[in-house]
Amino acid sequence: MYRLSLYILALLALVLGLLIGTLNASSVNIDLFWQQLELPLGAALVMAFVLGILLGLFALYVFRVLPQAIQLRGLQKTVRKLEASADGDNSSLTRLSVSED
C-alpha cells in the first residue's frame, strides 16, 4: 500500500511538472554572478521548487537531526558507562540523575 501511494505521488508530481512546463513555455533570463542562463519559465519554476525542497531538507538535517544524533550518541555513552559500573556495583543505579537540556 505504501509503495502504491508513493508511485501515485510520483506520477502526480510528474504530471504537475509537465503541466507547469507546458503552460509556462516562454523564456526567462536568469542572471547569475558568473553566467547568464536562458531557460523556459516552467523549468525555472520547477528548478526553484526542487532547490527550495533540498535547502529545506538540508536545514532540517543541520538544525534538528544532527543535534539529536549528537545528543543520542552522548546518552548512549552514558548508558554504557552506567552499565559498566552497574556490573561491579548495583548501588550506583540508585544515584542516577537525569538532566534535561
Q: What is the 3-state secondary structure (H, E, C) of the chain?
A: CHHHHHHHHHHHHHHHHHHHHHHCCCEEEEECCCCEEEEEHHHHHHHHHHHHHHHHHHHHHHHHHHHHHHHHHHHHHHHHHHHHHHHHCHHHHHHCCCCCC
Q: Using the predicted structure, report yes or no on whether residue 62 has a pLDDT greater than 90.
A: yes
What confidence score (pLDDT) does residue 67 get? 95
Mean pLDDT of the chain: 85
7-12 mean pLDDT? 90
